[in-house]
Amino acid sequence: MAHYLVTGGCGFIGSHLADRLLADGHRVTILDDLSTGRLENKPAAARLVVGDVADAAAVREAADAVDGIFHLAAVASVQRSKEAWSDTHRTNMMGTVTVFEAARTAGAGAPVPVVYASSAAVYGDNPVTPLGEDAETRPLSAYGADKLGCELHGRVAWSIHGVPTVGFRFFNVYGPRQDPRSPYSGVISIFAQRIARGRDLDIHGDGEQVRDFVYVGDVVEFLAAAMERRPRGAGIFNLCTGRPTSIAMLASVLEELAGYRVGRIHHPARPGDIRVSIGDPARLRAAFGMGCRTGLLDGLAATLDRVPA
């Protein structure tokens, strides 16, 4: 059994990953500054180091003698990256370089692999559908630019320092524990909470914009599988289903699952909103021999079931 560091392990995706690694019998250390993560997300059996992922000493300590690092800590809000450009850059880009640097010597002086979260935000407003990994990257936000920078440093980590890296470009991830409290939270977390409380849904634009929604359980499967393969090189994969779902359709399916309807409040489209964001999962499937397994209905039902009161 292995010992893994999960940065951001008190957050939405990181806590599901920590649960999964522990269930597989591994040891888990979490490094998290609890800025958006929550203590109640931390599995009891995980060791927690409260610290900043851009603080080299804190990362070195948390990564001491681990067999691999899952790097999920980031300021995941695009809006926040607009308001606090250099602060979010420090976490999102410097934090990643700090993790890659610690990975050089984390395994008793030898390099250990890093599996890390990139984002579909690297594609920005590229209108190609579906988006393959070789499509042009043209980020529209500091968040997307930093995620692209992480990928470039991921190549350097391998080519210059011998640290194997695997970056996953997550599309729209959803599932239990996703925080619905900000207006910029994921649409599914907001809709699920509104419907559970019998409240109307805000629809920005005509509702026909489409997204590629990925269930958090599938994300965790690929993260764990990437590490189990003892990666070499510097890989980049879309983590997506390739299936489009419109926002209007999403609202109807959630209502159907809940067994009742709520109203719609229509708003103008959000400035800069992307009309279509669908990934091509071909490279992912070819490399891992599997695709995302959770259908939208099952994933939404699991999410609705676990909306906090």
**62 vs 190, beta carbon nearer ligand UD1:** 190
Which residues form the catalytic set? 143
DSSP state of 123: G
DSSP string computed for 29-50 = EEEE--SS--GGGS-TTSEEEE
User: Are the beta carbons of 115 and 223 closer than 8 angstroms?
Assistant: yes
Site for ligand UD1 in 219-258 (CB under 6 A): 247
- Asked if 76 touches ligand NAD (CB under 6 A), the answer is yes
Cα separation, 299 vs 309, whole angstroms: 19
What the block records as the tokens of 272 is 């800069």
- Asked if 193 touches ligand UD1 (CB under 6 A), the answer is no
- Asked if 53 touches ligand NAD (CB under 6 A), the answer is yes
- Asked if 89 touches ligand UD1 (CB under 6 A), the answer is no
Looking only at the bridges linking them, the beta strands covering 264-267 and 210-211 are unpaired
Cα separation, 174 vs 305, whole angstroms: 13
**138 vs 184, beta carbon nearer ligand UD1:** 184
How much is the CA Rg of the chain, to the nearest whole Å? 19
- Asked if 273 touches ligand UD1 (CB under 6 A), the answer is yes
The residue range among 18-26, 118-126, 220-228, 298-306 that interacts with ligand UD1, by the rule CB under 6 A, is 118-126
- Asked if 30 touches ligand NAD (CB under 6 A), the answer is no
**7 vs 277, beta carbon nearer ligand UD1:** 277
The residue range among 28-36, 245-253, 269-277, 300-308 that interacts with ligand NAD, by the rule CB under 6 A, is 28-36
- Asked if 242 touches ligand NAD (CB under 6 A), the answer is no
- Asked if 209 touches ligand UD1 (CB under 6 A), the answer is yes
Tell me the three state secondary structure of residue 28.
strand
User: Are the beta carbons of 57 and 36 closer than 8 angstroms?
Assistant: no
Neighbour tally for 93: CB within 10 Å? 21
- Asked if 303 touches ligand UD1 (CB under 6 A), the answer is no
* Residues in touch with ligand NAD (CB under 6 A): 8, 10-14, 31-37, 52-54, 72-76, 91, 95, 117, 119, 170, 172-173, 186
